[in-house]
Structure 1
Amino acid sequence: MAEPAGAVTIRSVSTPAEAECFIRLPATLDDGWSIPLFADTRRIFDPRFNAALSEWEVPRFLAFRDGEPAGRIAASLPRGGGNVGGFGFLALQQDPAVLRALLDAARGWLAGRGAARMRGPVSFTINHEIGVLVEGGGLPMPRMPRNPSWLPGMLDAYGLRREMDVLACTLELARETHRTRFSRLLERWPGRDGLRIRRLQTRHLAREVALVREVFNDAWAANWGAVPVSEAEAATMARLLRPMLLTGAVFFAEWEGETIGLVSLIPNIEPQAAALQGRLLPFGWAGMLRALCGGARSARLPMLGIRQRWRGTPVGAHAMGALLSAAIGWAERRGWERLEISWILEHNAPMLQAMARLPAPISGRWRLWADALPPDPVKHSD
């Protein structure tokens, strides 16, 4: 029987044509949505590139109205099951019926596999792109999504419950006061000779990324929503990180030979990427290469952390200050005018106090929602 005119239907992505439709859909919508490079989205869903897909199930769904694509969503759950599942890669027309159909599809799939809660947007774990922009935003930045202003209200109206906000803080390099203040503090600290800051060695990238994983999984373990980075995910991280390190950097803090913290910086290639409407060909790759090799005017700082053992100690405090000094110095040498530190949990008072001292005021807010899932009488395993 034919669907009534105007009805919204959901289709699970199962063919190459549907997969390509999913990838390109944000570029067909009205202004306001992030439009990632099509090639990047293809890699995320390619198990030959993204080894983490061996550990996660990430089904994709498309919404259609009158035969035309009207929205997309993906669900996510660890293989073998889990209590909390995710929804993400959300993009759609301004239509509550389309949103409801998409979220219902993700809810049904997750409930059918035993998940008790749905959280999102997460694409596809909290270690990657998360949230809906609800306030501010400033310059577009890599992996910091953008969306139309009507989306938060529509998610509320669906019945999702606000669960957490994450923040971006932006430092204008011309206004930075941290290094001068910190250098005086460091000079007076008796332990300064035991603290060393070193840059990641790209010639040993696999070994160094393993160290990043080790520090990250300790430093972020107690955070809200924390999900450890697996070996497979770290392998994918190494592939993604290599081109960013042409001008970006990772610095480690070492105390008497032990690595106790890290900070990372990546050039902001998002303005160039956004102008391409998803397409690298025929000439978009040239602009992206220029941005990666020194053409960027700003950068994002996505990781800044100290191992839990050293939190609240003079060693940890000085290591944090030294990492920030190294990051700011690198940004200055690269000619970056702005540095976005993102994201930061809204209740992370110590980090927000550190941002205020830089000074790096809050410049954007992204929100995650959650919903309880009803028990599903028929558990699926396919």
Structure 2
Amino acid sequence: MVGNKGNYVFQSDFAETNVVSPDIEISVVTTLKDFKDFFRVSSIVYQDDDYWVAPFWVEFKFFFIRNNPFWTHGECKLFIAKKNNKIVGRIAAIIDYKFCETIGRKIGYFGFFECIEDYQCAEALFKSAQNWLGLKQMTVMRGPINGRVDIGCGFLHTGFESRQSFFYSYSPPYYLSFAEQFNMKKS
């Protein structure tokens, strides 16, 4: 892609920020510093959750390394939400062109979603992913899928009082409400 450089698929010379409201802005991840902020969002969201298991930095960043075979047929855009200049959420919009070709549909997906309990922030993140996927001619957005289904997918529906297992999705109960408010449907 023009403008990309470095070892990670998100690295670019083109910084981009969208002011959603007077107190909420969405920025595109373009640097390693941005990516480290993207990674640490989960620590902000789950800081008081005894059942959450923190991801390993090495495992997390591996998916986004440019030489990951997925990126020979995939593309992504990572977004960070800030409210009053504090990081409060993240989302990745991801396209697997091989999957689209195989099924004959233009389906993009979102993943790596984390957000504080604030629907305005969540909605801004969902819209950012949806808009970017639309610009890439995707007609459907599904998710959450954290890159690949074996890494983690879906929002937790039950089991909020159980310790998270590695490589399984974990999310606060309010994510289900966010998805419903955004008119997402279970499939």
CA distance in 1: counterparts of 2:96 and 2:69, whole angstroms: 13
Please give the residue correspondences for 1:123-142 in structure 2 after superposition, counting only pairs within 5 Å. 123-136=146-159, 138-142=162-166
Q: Relative to total residues, which structure has the larger strand share, 1 or 2?
A: 1
Q: Bigger relative contact order, structure 1 or 2, given CA contacts below 8 A and separation 6+?
A: 1
CA distance in 2: counterparts of 1:62 and 1:14, whole angstroms: 11
Are residue 67 (structure 1) and residue 67 (structure 2) matched? no
Q: Relative to total residues, which structure has the larger helix share, 1 or 2?
A: 1
Of the candidates 113, 119, 136, which is equivalent to residue 96 of structure 1? 119
Q: What residue is the counterpart of 2:62 in the other structure?
A: 43
Instruction: Kindly state the Cα deviation for residue 146 of structure 1 after the two structures are TM-superposed.
Output: 1.2
- Segments of structure 2 that go 5 or more residues without pairing to the other structure are 1-18, 101-105
Checking the alignment, whether the CA contact within 8 Å between 2:44 and 2:88 is kept in structure 1 is no
Checking the alignment, whether the CA contact within 8 Å between 1:58 and 1:124 is kept in structure 2 is no
CA distance in 2: counterparts of 1:37 and 1:127, whole angstroms: 16
Q: What residue is the counterpart of 1:23 in the other structure?
A: 39
Are residue 105 (structure 1) and residue 155 (structure 2) matched? no
Are residue 158 (structure 1) and residue 177 (structure 2) matched? no
Indicate the SS of the match to 1:121.
coil
Instruction: Kindly state the Cα deviation for residue 46 of structure 1 after the two structures are TM-superposed.
Output: 1.1
Indicate the SS of the match to 2:186.
strand
Q: What residue is the counterpart of 1:122 in the other structure?
A: 145
TM-score of the superposed pair, with normalisation by structure 1 = 0.39
Amino-acid identity (%): 22
Q: 1:140 to 1:127 in 2, by over 3 A?
A: closer
CA distance in 1: counterparts of 2:151 and 2:125, whole angstroms: 21
Letter in 2 for 1:156: E
Q: 1:90 to 1:19 in 2, by over 3 A?
A: same
Instruction: Kindly state the Cα deviation for residue 78 of structure 1 after the two structures are TM-superposed.
Output: 2.1
Structure 1 consecutive aligned stretches of length 4 or more whose deviation exceeds 4 Å: 3-6
Instruction: Kindly state the Cα deviation for residue 29 of structure 1 after the two structures are TM-superposed.
Output: 2.2
Please give the residue correspondences for 1:343-382 in structure 2 after superposition, counting only pairs within 5 Å. none
Q: What residue is the counterpart of 2:74 in the other structure?
A: 56
Please give the residue correspondences for 1:238-253 in structure 2 after superposition, counting only pairs within 5 Å. none
- Segments of structure 1 that go 5 or more residues without pairing to the other structure are 164-382
Please give the residue correspondences for 1:318-337 in structure 2 after superposition, counting only pairs within 5 Å. none
Indicate the SS of the match to 1:41.
helix
CA distance in 1: counterparts of 2:109 and 2:175, whole angstroms: 17
Please give the residue correspondences for 1:184-333 in structure 2 after superposition, counting only pairs within 5 Å. none
Checking the alignment, whether the CA contact within 8 Å between 1:129 and 1:145 is kept in structure 2 is yes
Aligned residues: 160
Q: 1:4 to 1:21 in 2, by over 3 A?
A: closer
CA distance in 2: counterparts of 1:63 and 1:44, whole angstroms: 21
Structure 1 vs Structure 2 CA RMSD:
2.2
Q: 1:64 to 1:154 in 2, by over 3 A?
A: same
